Amino acid sequence: DAAEKGGYEHFMLKEIHEQPNAVKTTITPRIVNGMPDLSECGLTLEALKNYRKLFIVACGTAMHAGMVGKYVIEKLARTEVTVDIASEFRYRDPIITPEDLVIVVSQSGETADTKAALHLAHDKGAKVLSVVNVKGSSIARESDMVLYTHAGPEISVASTKAFSVQMSVMYLLAFEMAYAKGHIDENECKRLTAKLAEIPDIIEKTMECEKKCKYVSSKLITAQSLLYIGRGLDYALSMEGSLKLKEISYIHSESYAAGELKHGTISLVEDGMPVIGVATQTELLEKTVSNIVEVKSRGAFTIAVCKEGTEFSEGVIDEAIEVPAMEDVLMPMLTVIPLQLIAYYTTVLKGLNVDKPRNLAKSVTVE
Ligand code: G6P
């Protein structure tokens, strides 16, 4: 067991640290002459150019990778993307046509609801592209096209490295589709792809925040409840951070779109309640900070996850966790690191079973 954990105390920590390599192994073979190349699965530039609409369907953490995909694809490829939780998608009679592409995302490739979504897409005449980690799994076998993520086996129930590799595939897809649809030229596509290729090294550098995350976690262990807030891509990451924390530490937490707080949730804020503000998106920074100020003035203990060098006015932030600054669109690849580490250390400090939280299964093969 100790050998399998490669010197780490838990699989989760090992898997967090495997992310630079997992991402590198996933993206490197798919960058040819500086351009993204997903032709291995039969996804041609011509096909990418012609899809009317994309549906991304998944469960849990894989769905959050889909949320990141939606923001990035819509921003760069100017194509409408709908993200669905698979258990909702399968019963809502979605309006899918044969001109659409349904993308299912799954670490295990065996999740029952995600598999049902795939069947539904086929019934409606749409092609299915799957982004799957486990080779030869049911979802991979039944899809029209598969892009395997190369994270290697993920043992810890809380998904970490699978999320990063799923996001990395979303970026390749977004860049290639943006190019295919003529929204970016070859130079810009190469520039973005080169930035993505730098990410594994920068994730490694991001790990330097580990000590700080452990310290911040020591402040969270007595909390009854906490909030994660953010806007845009930071909101998608808030969702993932919140899920990670609650599933293993058993501390109730909610993620909220920062601007929506004042429509209800802010009434929960009382003295000492931790609020984690994810604030990496330059254009939205001022807006998110104004929401952090609102919770601070109601007594919240405020933690910011932000780019290095971000300056806040005096008294707004109790603890800031800085990550290296990349261009906004790629920040989720780095932002996720402290969010995973906070969930991990909070759980360890509470003395709970990090790798096998109660009531949860690694793969949910029944409805
Ligand atoms: C379970 C796991 C989650 C995972 C979800 C989807 O709930 O505990 O970590 O995100 O299933 O799994 P999949 O294998 O389809 O990605």
Considering only 7-16, 142-151, 173-182, 261-270, which range has the smallest mean pLDDT?
A: 261-270
Q: What percent of the chain has pLDDT over 70?
A: 100
Q: Which atom of ligand 1 is nearest to the CA of 162?
A: 16
242 C-beta closer than 6 A to ligand 1 = no
Query: pLDDT of 120-162, one tens digit each?
Result: 999 999 999 999 999 999 999 999 999 999 999 999 999 999 9
Catalytic residue among 181, 212, 219, 362: 362
Report helix, strand or coil for 278: strand
Query: And the tokens for 290?
Result: 């104004």
96: phi then psi, degrees, rounded to nearest 5? -110, 140
User: Closest Cα to atom 11, ligand 1: which residue?
Assistant: 363
Q: What is the token pair recorded at 177?
A: 């589709």
Closest ligand 1 atom, residue 247 Cα? 8
Return the HEC string of 316-328: CCCEEEEECCCCH
Quick check: 28 and 172 in contact, CB under 8 A? no
Q: Does any ligand 1 atom lie closer than 6 A to the CB of residue 107?
A: yes
The finding on whether 23 has its CB within 6 A of some atom of ligand 1 is no
**Phi–psi pair at 75, nearest 5 degrees:** -65, -45
Probe residue for ligand 1, chosen from 61, 105, 139, 356 as the CB with the greatest number of ligand atoms within 8 Å: 61
Tell how strand 127-132 and strand 145-148 pair up: parallel
Å from CA of 184 to ligand 1 middle: 34
CA–centroid distance, residue 114 to ligand 1 (Å): 10
Does 360 sit in the ligand 1 pocket, CB within 6 Å? yes
Average pLDDT, the chain: 96
Could you tell me which of 6, 12, 75 has the C-alpha nearest to residue 249? 12
Catalytic site residue 350?
Answer: no
Are 268 and 298 in contact by the 8 Å Cβ rule? The answer is no
What are the DSSP E strand ranges found in the chain?
31-32, 35-36, 54-58, 81-85, 101-106, 127-132, 145-148, 225-230, 252-257, 274-279, 301-307, 319-323
Q: Answer whether 206 contacts ligand 1 (Cβ < 6 A).
A: no
Residue 326: Cβ within 10 Å count: 20
Q: At what angle do helices 60-77 and 233-249 cross, to 10 degrees?
A: 170
CA distance 7 to 1: 10
- Checking if the pLDDT of 2 tops 80, the result is no
Please say if the pLDDT value at position 366 is more than 90: no
**111 Cα nearest atom in ligand 1:** 15
Residue identifier of the C-alpha nearest atom 3 of ligand 1: 60
Q: State the distance from the centre of ligand 1 to the C-alpha of 135, rounded, in angstroms.
A: 16
Please state the three-class secondary structure of 78-107 as a single string.
CCCEEEEEHHHHCCCCCCCCCCCEEEEEEC
**What backbone phi and psi angles, to 5 degrees, belong to 153?**
-60, 135
21 lines ligand 1 (CB under 6 A): no
What was the ipTM of the complex prediction? Answer: 0.97
- pLDDT band per the 50, 70, 90 thresholds, residue 252: very high
Q: Is the model's pLDDT at 3 over the cut of 90? A: no
Residue type at position 223: A
Per-residue pLDDT reduced to its tens digit, 82-97: 999 999 999 999 999 9
Q: Pseudo-torsion of CA 53, 58, 64, 68, nearest 10°? A: -20
Report how far residue 60's alpha carbon sits from residue 66's, in angstroms, rounded to the nearest whole number.
10
* Ligand 1 pocket, residue 363 CB under 6 Å: yes
Q: How far is the CA of 264 from the centre of ligand 1 (A)?
A: 30
Determine whether 287 is exposed, middle or buried from the number of CB atoms within 10 Å of its CB (0-12, 13-18, 19+): middle
Taking phi first (over 0 means left), then psi (-120 to 50 degrees means alpha), and beta for anything else, what does residue 36 get?
Answer: beta
Region 168-182: what's the mean pLDDT? 98
Q: What are phi and psi of 51, to 5 degrees?
A: -60, 135
160 lines ligand 1 (CB under 6 A): no
Structure tokens at 54: 């994309």
Confidence of residue 192 (pLDDT cuts 50, 70, 90): very high
Whether the predicted pLDDT of 69 surpasses 90:
yes
